[in-house]
């Protein structure tokens, strides 16, 4: 339960702080944080979450990461359903509090509510195929970065920074395409409070990130090889 609570809180924070930067700050032209500011907000939110909760649950805060770690044999199958349920619940609660705050401003309209979309709901007008490719490839490399930076052979203590910087960089590139998901829990959380189209397009933002996570979980052990065995006494 402690690990599930950590996953829920970490995902709550990611949605509340990351999507909050898009809805509350970027929505005010005078603040001018733009895509760069939103991308940095998500990256910083991830760094904070990993340092705060990583030692408790591993801080997956993303079903695609949990499944990718399962495929790479870094996570037990029996814990996957509970982790995903906690992530989705935490994300929805974070989006709910954000919605409560956002509706406190006169004239608020939910619209997309920071949801992910393709076609006419893509920020840059990108197609379904473009969105699917972007989400899959970004998730694939994201899993490689997670697996590599948390490998016992990697420099220790820097994984949260590497993962957070990866999130920021991926957001810079991916926001114009789909508003960037990488995270089915984050996508589901905001879609619940958005206009109906967000739920209709939600399937892509579960399928593509999980596919990328599975591919990353399969490829990393192949290119990295088994870690060196510890000498026995």
pLDDT value of position 231 = 42
Domain that includes residue 128, residue range: 2-222
pLDDT value of position 29 = 56
Within a domain: 228 = no
Within a domain: 34 = yes
On the CB side of 22, CA atoms within 13 Å amount to: 25
Give the model confidence (pLDDT) of 94-137 as tens digits. 999 999 998 888 877 888 888 999 999 999 999 999 999 999 99
Query: How remote is the C-alpha of 208 from its chain's centroid?
Result: 12
Within a domain: 152 = yes
pLDDT value of position 114 = 87
Within a domain: 231 = no
Instruction: Provide the CATH number for the domain around residue 46.
Output: 1.20.1080.10
The domain total for the chain is 1
Within a domain: 42 = yes
User: What pTM, to 2 d.p., does this model score?
Assistant: 0.90
Low-confidence stretches of the chain (pLDDT < 70) are 26-32, 227-233
Within a domain: 233 = no
Percentage of the chain with pLDDT > 70?
94
**38 with 171: CB under 8 angstroms?**
yes
pLDDT value of position 2 = 93
Within a domain: 162 = yes
């Amino acid at each position: 339960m402690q690990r599930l609570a950590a996953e829920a809180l970490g995902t709550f924070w990611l949605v509340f702080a990351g999507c909050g930067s898009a809805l509350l700050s970027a929505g005010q032209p005078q603040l001018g944080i733009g895509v760069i500011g939103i991308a940095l907000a998500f990256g910083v939110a991830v760094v904070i979450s990993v340092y705060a909760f990583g030692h408790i649950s591993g801080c997956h805060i993303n079903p695609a990461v949990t499944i990718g770690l399962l495929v790479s044999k870094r996570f037990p199958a029996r814990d996957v359903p509970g982790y995903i349920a906690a992530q989705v619940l935490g994300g929805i609660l974070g989006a709910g509090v954000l919605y409560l705050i956002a509706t406190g401003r006169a004239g608020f309209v939910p619209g997309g509510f920071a949801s992910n979309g393709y076609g006419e709901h893509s920020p840059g007008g990108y197609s379904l195929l473009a969105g699917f490719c972007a989400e899959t490839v970004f998730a694939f490399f994201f899993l490689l970065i997670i697996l590599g930076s948390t490998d016992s052979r990697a420099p220790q203590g820097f994984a949260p920074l590497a993962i957070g910087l990866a999130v920021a960089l991926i957001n810079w590139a991916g926001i114009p395409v789909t508003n960037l998901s990488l995270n089915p829990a984050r996508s589901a959380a905001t879609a619940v409070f958005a206009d109906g189209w967000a739920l209709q397009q939600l399937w892509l933002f579960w399928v593509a990130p999980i596919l990328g996570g599975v591919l990353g979980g399969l490829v990393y052990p192949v290119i990295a090889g088994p870690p060196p065995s510890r000498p026995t006494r």
